[in-house]
Amino acid sequence: MNKTLRQTVIAGNWKMNKTPSEARDLLDGVKKLCGKTKWCDVVVCVPYLDIPLAVRTLKDCRVSVGAQNMHQEASGAFTGEISAEMLRDAGVKYVIIGHSERRQYFGETDALVAKKITRALDCDLRPIICVGETLEQRDMGITLEIVGAQVKAALTAVPEDKARRVIFAYEPVWAIGTGRVATSEQAAEVCGHIRSIVRKQYGARIARGVTVQYGGSMNAENARELLSQADIDGGLIGGASLKPEPFAAIVDASNQ
């Protein structure tokens, strides 16, 4: 991390977990343990139904609320979808876009991800843009090519004056929810590559200010080493965000 140049962001991705009644204790715990954090931005990306409760619970502390997905259009006949305008009006500040589970299970393409990024930025939401390779792609030695293509596709939607508002989350698909973690060297290499692509498109000044997270089974035990890498500016946390204490330990690990 380099806190003098860019924000450190620790974001929890609850995925499809926690009913509103179940979410109350978790939100109270996060507020108690992380609500006064000043050395990084803390975000909880909750299911849609939990958003109103999360916004109310966290309104007087330093933890922000994020969503896990959104539709690319402002409104229309899209049954079951949620727009960026709806999220913003509900008090959401961040939104995850292009998570590998969305790409894998719901067929989201790079082109669709780019449209969502545009809509998020137009609605003053900060997009957390997920990129990452499969195990087969890593074994083939094409990790940088795969991730690079995803980043380049995402940046087609980002005007220069909004580039510093995007967050990239490198999530190797083979490490998400598996307990396997990229080594700090592997994670740093890819995060550095992401920043180099941003640099080529927008220049060094903007690239220095863009937050790049690592996801993929970051936990209380490995967070400090991962976050000590120069180009890793935070984490997108899955399973470890579903209990207040492990999540708070990761937040504490970013205080270095």
16 contacts 46 by C-beta, under 8 angstroms:
no
Beta-bridge partner residues of 211: 167
Give the DSSP per-residue string, the chain: --TTTS--EEEEE--S---HHHHHHHHHHHHHHHTT--SSEEEEE--GGGHHHHHHHHTTSSEEEEES---SSSSSS-TT---HHHHHHHT--EEEES-HHHHHHH---HHHHHHHHHHHHHTT-EEEEEE---HHHHHTT-HHHHHHHHHHHHHTT--GGGGGG-EEEE--GGGTTTS----HHHHHHHHHHHHHHHHHHH-HHHHHH-EEEEESS--TTTHHHHHTSTT--EEEESGGGSSHHHHHHHHHHT--
Task: Report which of 72, 3, 11 is spatially closest to residue 233, judged by C-alpha positions.
Answer: 3
2, amino acid identity = N
Which residues are identified as catalytic? 99, 171
